[in-house]
Amino acid sequence: MRPDSMTRSPRARGRMARLRDDAIRWITRRHAHDGQAARLGRDRIYILPTRAGYTLLGILLVMLLGSINYSNNMAFLLTFLLVGIGHNAMWYTHRNLLGLQVATLPVPPVFAGQPLGIPLRLSETDGRAREALVLRVGNRATGPFPVPGRGAETARLELSGQPRGLYRLPRQRLDTRYPLGILEAWTWLTLTPEIVVYPDPIDPGATLGGTGEDEAPASTGHAGDAPDQIRPYRPGDPPGRIIWKAFARSGKLHVREAASGQGDRLWLEWDAMPAPDTETRLSMLCHQVLAAHAEGRFFGLRLPDQTLEPGQGVSHRDSCLRALAGFRTKPIELDPEPRS
């Protein structure tokens, strides 16, 4: 094979992909943007024969010509019987999608490089079960799954890992070949779940060759020199402040709290990270946020364009991680293709 023919093939495939995307956008231009949920009406369901359907259509045409040529009534009967079965299959295939409701579910955030799981919920309200549905994004697809009558099913689409950032889901395709496989009905969806990919955590201490504790590049300011206070445990208190020795003696949970009620204030500083590039600094800060949360620390985050005041708890940790994921970037369309 000549080198020029090898380079021509990817270019041709790229042109065909662009033409296909333009055709899909032209066809679906009258569809409103779905947002968080969509209901499938007749105006957005498309149906065409599959390869097996076209083969059957050719066979039926040959059978019809043979029946006419030989004036054979039994051949006419068999031909029109098969045509009637195909017509009913068309109705059943189209009806398998009609009236379905599709909605987004919260997408669990992941760290850079980890596989993404996109859950979508399909609900049926017309009282008839749906069979052999397939959800696709790009070249990724779920296995065939059913939706029970007057019930719901969650379809989970597994996508390849992505770099740090905020993403939106590209166009989705829901299709079915039920019941005979000779026809395929499909619809295009533009659901927009929020997809957040955190930086990959990197220990700054390990980067410097230390233990990760004495050399952790974070500035700490104490709330005061007042002695710690002991109080009974309340739901939501960080496990790192539980006094386990007291629990072993008395069987009751108590926590240690600084006199100010906030403990030690810990500031995680952008400028304190020992890395020259942006992504490595974000990864180091991500590690620091996770470590501070695991220790039950009262910590804040300082970035060049944003400052998050000290806080505690899962919501504060998630706010800091989201700020790192969205640092100087805008939501972009996710690439579902597997990365080499």
For the chain, domain boundaries = 33-193, 204-325
3-state DSSP call for residue 110?
A: strand
User: Cβ neighbours of residue 99 under 8 Å, at least 6 residues apart?
Assistant: 39, 40, 41, 124, 125, 126
CB burial of 190-218 (b: ≥16 within 10 Å; e: otherwise) equals bbebebbbbbbbbbbbebeeeeeeeebbb
Tokens 């093939």 correspond to: 9
Look at residue 211 in the predicted model and tell me its pLDDT: 38
Tens-binned pLDDT, residue by residue, of the chain (340 aa): 454 444 457 777 777 777 877 777 777 776 777 888 999 999 899 999 999 999 999 999 999 999 999 989 999 999 999 999 999 999 999 999 999 999 999 999 999 989 999 999 999 988 899 999 999 998 889 999 999 999 999 999 998 889 999 999 888 999 999 999 999 999 999 998 889 999 999 987 654 444 334 444 444 444 444 445 566 776 656 666 677 776 777 777 776 665 444 456 788 889 888 888 999 999 999 999 998 888 888 899 999 989 999 998 899 999 999 999 999 998 888 887 645 4
**156, 135 contact by CB (below 8 A):** no
DSSP 242: B
**254, 246 contact by CB (below 8 A):** yes
Integer CA distances (angstroms), 233 to 227, 237, 262, 264, 299, in order: 18, 7, 15, 19, 21
Burial status of residue 37 (CB atoms within 10 A of its CB: 0-12, 13-18, 19 or more):
middle
Look at residue 22 in the predicted model and tell me its pLDDT: 76
Closest CA to 162 of 321, 333, 21, 327: 333
Angstrom distance (rounded) from CA 186 to CA 174: 6
Residue 72 CB coordination number (10 Å):
14
Beta bridge partners of 268: 301
Look up residue 116 and give its amino acid. Answer: L
